């Protein structure tokens, strides 16, 4: 009879589960100063996310978002070989409010490599139709999702650790994490992916705790939402299966099988419509680039540090504090979390660990830098942040001074990092792109009637936001390049490849590099006597 009562309690709340199975009573409310700190940091992070939002450089990938979200004009051959003023190029990013929302799905499917999941772009399409299509409007979608993640963070912390103190500390750490701040200001799907991943972990933990068909069905639905937000989410379900098989959790394996069937059923219409080419997002050539062992380890340490503080620089001396963070904060925090959480929480922690290690394993076996690309690790990062919050909460109980020191360090580092990121003109590690484009724009603005030729439509669109209206821009490909005879200030930028040799092969032009940045040349007409 007692066993039945325990099971009945288990099916009510996480607190009841802990009380019945671990002999731990549900903790009292968090102390007022912790709640106040979390609320102040949430308000501060909101101000940082909204500050300078429209002024930041709209970089290449964000230009891709604007092009995918049902533009009024399509990119075709008619846009190549035509010198046009910046205002003409900006038309490519104007949202056609009269077009049906389903046009976004057509755009995703019609790409030569349809590597983007649809949910974020549908949300961005609806949002921009209501609010506008300026850079700040596109980025507001990510800001909104970054705040929708907060109640999910609180709920997942309660599910894993049954502590209101840890839940409020999780909100504090999550709000001022530079990683979350960066992606909350970018017009890309990663802020939405954080929300979808939190739903994945929350429903996985609940389904494992309650072991009911409804919860496993709900988990399967949330897994489908996660996949339709980012295709790398397929690895999360594989990680959950691997962790459950390693722990011989037969009930969990059966539940995961049911959830997988639900996921496949939900995803089938989209993949039938879009085709299996959408899986190509996981096979980009640039992530297969080789890396030395020292570079790989050094970049891992640097990425670990960026969860806590980010100075927007890359320096060798930063590896020292990054190493201390990894050895004396992250690892102890995750070990403690594994000891203190429930069995459902352990499935979550093990699955997150398997997900992270899978990237390392692929890099070791096949070469590449997948584990060094932080956005691919997005689903596991909130779990690390919750483990940090649990560690700080534990220290506040057993070693108060140490706990206050750790909390102060995390808060100060996060506030300082968010302040730097908020006022920056560039998007985090993409600053080196912005410097080149701003240097080119400043150079062109000083010329009388310049023409810039570039083979990359994203770079043309990016520069069109920076140059004055007298500057002409041309998207050119070999065989379709038009240089008016009355222009003398002619320049070529970007990955010219075959374009520059094709222009010079006619014998009319001589290319001379301009040392303001890489891949930038001035074209001069060849003298008739030569």
Per-residue confidence (pLDDT) for residue 34, from 0 to 100: 96
Per-residue confidence (pLDDT) for residue 3, from 0 to 100: 35
Rg (CA), the chain: 26
Is the CB of residue 459 less than 8 Å from the CB of residue 475?
A: no
Per-residue confidence (pLDDT) for residue 277, from 0 to 100: 54
Is the CB of residue 103 less than 8 Å from the CB of residue 109?
A: no
Per-residue confidence (pLDDT) for residue 77, from 0 to 100: 64
Provide the CA 74 distance to its chain's centre, in angstroms.
26
Per-residue confidence (pLDDT) for residue 7, from 0 to 100: 41
Tens digit of pLDDT at every position of the chain (530 positions):
333 334 444 455 555 544 444 434 445 688 999 999 999 999 999 999 999 888 888 887 888 888 888 676 666 666 778 889 998 888 877 888 788 888 888 888 876 445 789 999 999 999 988 888 888 899 999 999 999 999 999 999 999 999 999 999 999 999 999 999 999 999 999 999 999 999 999 999 999 999 999 999 999 999 999 999 999 899 999 999 999 988 778 889 999 999 999 999 999 998 888 776 555 544 455 566 777 778 788 778 878 888 888 876 555 556 667 677 777 888 999 999 999 998 888 999 999 999 999 988 888 888 778 888 888 999 999 999 999 999 999 999 999 999 999 999 999 999 999 998 888 876 555 555 556 788 889 999 999 889 999 888 888 888 998 899 999 999 887 767 888 888 888 999 876 667 778 787 777 888 888 888 878 888 888 776 54
User: Judging by DSSP bridges, how do beta strands 490-493 and 509-513 pair with one another?
Assistant: unpaired
CB under 8 Å to 148, separation ≥6 — which residues? 195
CB under 8 Å to 470, separation ≥6 — which residues? 85, 448, 449
Three-state secondary structure of 171-194: HHHHHCCHHHHHHHCCCCCHHHHH
Rounded to whole angstroms, the Cα distance separating 346 from 412 reads: 30
Rounded to whole angstroms, the Cα distance separating 333 from 327 reads: 10
Per-residue confidence (pLDDT) for residue 75, from 0 to 100: 66
| pLDDT tens digits, one per residue of 279-320 | 554 445 556 677 777 878 877 887 888 888 887 655 555 666
DSSP annotation of 363 reads H
Give the C-alpha distances (Å, rounded to integers) separating 210 from 12, 235, 373. Answer: 8, 24, 35
The residues spanned by each domain of the chain are 2-54+134-425, 430-525
Per-residue confidence (pLDDT) for residue 279, from 0 to 100: 53
């Amino acid at each position: 009879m007692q066993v039945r009562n325990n099971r009945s309690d288990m099916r009510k709340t996480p607190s009841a589960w802990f009380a019945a199975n671990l002999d731990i009573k549900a903790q009292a409310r968090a102390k007022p100063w912790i709640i106040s700190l979390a609320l102040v940091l949430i308000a501060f992070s909101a101000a940082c996310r909204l500050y300078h939002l429209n002024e930041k450089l709209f970089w290449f990938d964000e230009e891709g978002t604007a092009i995918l979200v049902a533009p009024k004009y399509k990119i075709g051959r008619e846009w190549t070989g035509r010198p046009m003023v910046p205002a003409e190029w900006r038309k490519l990013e104007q949202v056609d409010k009269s077009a049906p929302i389903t046009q976004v799905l057509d755009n995703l499917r019609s790409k030569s490599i349809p590597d983007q999941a649809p949910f974020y772009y549908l949300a961005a399409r609806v949002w921009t139709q209501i609010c506008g299509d300026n850079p700040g409007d596109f980025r507001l979608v990510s800001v909104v999702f970054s705040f929708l993640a907060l109640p999910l963070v609180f709920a997942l912390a309660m599910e894993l650790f049954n502590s209101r103190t840890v839940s409020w500390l999780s909100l504090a750490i999550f709000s001022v994490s530079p990683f979350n701040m960066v992606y909350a200001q970018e017009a890309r799907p990663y802020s939405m992916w954080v929300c979808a991943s939190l739903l994945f972990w929350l429903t996985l933990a609940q389904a494992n705790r309650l072991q009911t068909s409804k919860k496993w069905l709900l988990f399967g639905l949330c897994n489908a939402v996660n996949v339709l937000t980012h295709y790398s989410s397929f690895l999360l379900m594989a990680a959950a299966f691997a962790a459950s098989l390693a722990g011989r959790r037969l009930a969990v394996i059966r539940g995961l099988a049911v959830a997988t069937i639900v996921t496949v059923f939900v995803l089938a219409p989209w993949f039938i419509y879009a085709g299996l080419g959408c899986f190509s997002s996981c096979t980009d050539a640039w992530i297969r680039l080789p890396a030395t062992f020292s570079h790989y380890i050094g970049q891992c340490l640097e990425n670990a540090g960026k969860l806590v503080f980010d100075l927007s620089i890359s320096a060798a001396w930063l590896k020292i504090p990054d190493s201390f963070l990894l050895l004396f904060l992250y690892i102890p925090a995750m070990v403690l979390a594994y000891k203190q959480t429930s069995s459902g929480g352990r499935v979550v922690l093990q699955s997150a660990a398997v997900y992270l290690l899978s990237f390392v394993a692929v890099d070791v076996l096949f070469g590449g830098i997948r584990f060094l690309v932080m956005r691919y690790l997005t689903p596991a990062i909130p779990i690390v942040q919750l483990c940090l919050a649990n560690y700080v909460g534990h220290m506040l109980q057993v070693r108060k001074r140490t706990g206050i020191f750790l909390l102060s360090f995390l808060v100060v580092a996060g506030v300082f990092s968010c302040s730097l990121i908020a006022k920056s003109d560039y998007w985090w590690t993409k600053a080196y792109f912005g410097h080149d484009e701003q240097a080119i724009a400043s150079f062109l603005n000083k010329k009388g009637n310049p023409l810039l030729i570039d083979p990359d439509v994203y770079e043309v669109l990016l520069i069109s936001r920076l140059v004055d209206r007298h500057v002409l821009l041309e998207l050119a490909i070999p065989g379709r390049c038009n240089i008016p005879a009355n222009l003398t200030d002619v320049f070529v930028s970007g990955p010219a490849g075959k374009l520059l040799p094709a222009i010079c092969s006619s014998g009319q032009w001589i290319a001379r590099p301009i040392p303001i940045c890489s891949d930038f040349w001035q074209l001069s007409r060849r003298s008739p006597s030569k």
